[in-house]
């Protein structure tokens, strides 16, 4: 049998995500809504935190020449907030907020020159940035079954979308204030043994965005004032299986496997008034994420965890989105009225290449690169 401390601290570390960031590997995936807070058995629980990611992806060669550009991937931060209220022994609901998707790239002078020199290159980008906010509500209906409880989870979320692309021709801005999706799942847990199994599905989202295009090099054709623009694209569905169990007093093991349907993102299509239809090509493959780890209770107030993660690369040659291997560590520390959770990780981004023959704006290669992440959150139960 494992202690109540293991149930409260180690399950929080592994399920709620001390280090759950994909670090530029699994497509545009960033944060994950903390619906695991629904397994808390108190009357109410609030958790808030943030993860900072420092990806260091750069080009090794551009059009066959050694690159001296700085890393094009930019730092970002992912907030994560969850609040759970227990309505009855069998019903609890949670409200969550996070940034599930995002990306931020700025290209150096050598990449810009290669883009401009490529015959037929339509965009000549200086940089691209986008993010999505998710506001969700999920409820859990549970029943006693055997030594534990069977859980049915479901709810909906609203997701917005903001996109900005700066290029030689001008700056494109697109925004979708709201698109709606849903999630549902089934789980089973035996707190006495720190055992939990869960299967969770998250739906895909269709974004239809409006905005404008401010001409730069195209000012002679379109005029200097912004013109109307619109765009559309799909962000993927996913399915995640999570397992964990106490294996000895003070010890817990856990793992998960997640499939993400990144192959729906073939292109981001957009229209600019006065110009032919445009698109950014991705042609991504489906993604897989596998995680395995162990947790241990060190003292009555401190627990820790260590995990290994693999993200399958989704790139198909239009950009460089390769496999990533990660090691993460975290700790849960009882302090004050609640619990402080801190963690960090390091990722190795494997080498890869892109080519104009597969939809890239220019040919380039990348050697293995590194990415780093730090996270902190605080949890209070009522």
Q: Any idea where the domains of the chain sit in the sequence?
A: 4-381
Can you give the pLDDT at residue 269?
93
Can you give the pLDDT at residue 10?
55
Can you give the pLDDT at residue 157?
98
Q: How many Cβ atoms from other residues are within 10 Å of residue 261's Cβ?
A: 17
User: DSSP of 49-78, one letter per residue?
Assistant: EEEEEEE----SEETTEEP-PPP-BPPEEE
Query: How far is residue 283 from each of residues 82, 106, 127, 235, 286, measured CA to CA in Å?
Result: 34, 21, 20, 13, 10
User: DSSP of 292-325, one letter per residue?
Assistant: EEEEEE-SSSEEEEEEEEEE-----SSS----EE
Output the six-digit token pair for 228. 């109307």
Output the six-digit token pair for 265. 């993102």
H helix or E strand, kind and range, residue 112: helix 109-117
Which CATH number fits the domain 4-381, given the four candidates 2.40.128.50, 1.10.357.10, 3.30.70.100, 2.40.160.60?
A: 2.40.160.60
What is the mean pLDDT, run by run of 10 residues, along the chain of 382 residues?
A: 48 47 65 95 94 94 96 95 97 97 94 86 83 98 96 98 94 97 97 94 97 95 96 96 94 96 93 92 93 94 94 93 94 93 94 93 95 94 89
Give the integer Cα–Cα distance in Å for 37 and 187: 13
Can you give the pLDDT at residue 223?
94
Can you give the pLDDT at residue 79?
96
């Amino acid at each position: 049998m494992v202690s109540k401390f293991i149930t409260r601290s180690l399950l929080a570390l592994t399920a709620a995500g001390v280090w759950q960031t994909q670090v530029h590997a699994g497509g545009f995936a960033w944060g994950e809504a903390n619906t695991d807070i629904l397994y808390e058995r108190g009357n109410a629980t609030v958790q808030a935190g943030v993860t900072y990611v420092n990806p260091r992806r750069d080009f090794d060669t551009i059009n066959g020449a050694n690159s001296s550009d700085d890393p094009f991937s930019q730092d970002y931060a992912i907030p994560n907030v969850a609040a759970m209220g227990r309505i009855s022994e069998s019903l609890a609901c949670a409200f969550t907020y996070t940034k599930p998707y995002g990306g931020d790239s700025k290209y150096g002078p050598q990449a810009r020159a290669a883009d401009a020199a490529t015959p037929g290159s339509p965009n000549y980008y200086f940089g691209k940035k986008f993010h999505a906010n998710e506001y969700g509500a999920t409820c859990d209906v549970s029943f006693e079954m055997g030594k534990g409880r069977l859980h049915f989870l479901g709810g909906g979320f609203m997701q917005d979308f903001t996109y900005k692309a700066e290029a030689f021709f001008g700056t494109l801005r697109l925004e979708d204030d709201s698109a709606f999706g849903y999630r549902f799942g089934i789980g089973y847990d035996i707190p006495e043994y720190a055992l939990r199994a869960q299967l969770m599905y998250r739906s895909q989202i269709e974004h239809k965005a409006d905005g404008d295009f401010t001409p730069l090099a195209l000012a002679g054709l379109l005029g200097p004032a912004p013109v109307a623009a619109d765009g559309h694209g799909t962000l993927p569905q996913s399915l995640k299986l999570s397992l964990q169990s106490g294996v000895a007093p003070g010890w817990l093991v856990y793992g998960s496997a997640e499939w993400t349907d990144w192959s729906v993102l073939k292109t981001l299509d957009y229209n600019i008034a006065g110009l032919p239809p445009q698109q950014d090509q991705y042609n991504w493959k489906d993604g897989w994420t596998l995680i395995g780890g162990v947790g241990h209770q060190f003292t009555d107030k401190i627990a820790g965890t260590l995990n290994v993660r693999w993200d399958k690369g989704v790139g198909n040659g239009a950009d460089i989105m390769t496999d990533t291997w990660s090691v993460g560590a975290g700790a849960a520390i009882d302090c004050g009225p609640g619990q402080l959770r801190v963690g960090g990780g390091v990722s190795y981004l494997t080498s890869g290449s892109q080519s104009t023959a597969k939809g890239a704006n220019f040919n380039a290669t990348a050697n293995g690169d590194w990415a780093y992440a730090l996270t902190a959150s605080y949890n209070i139960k009522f």
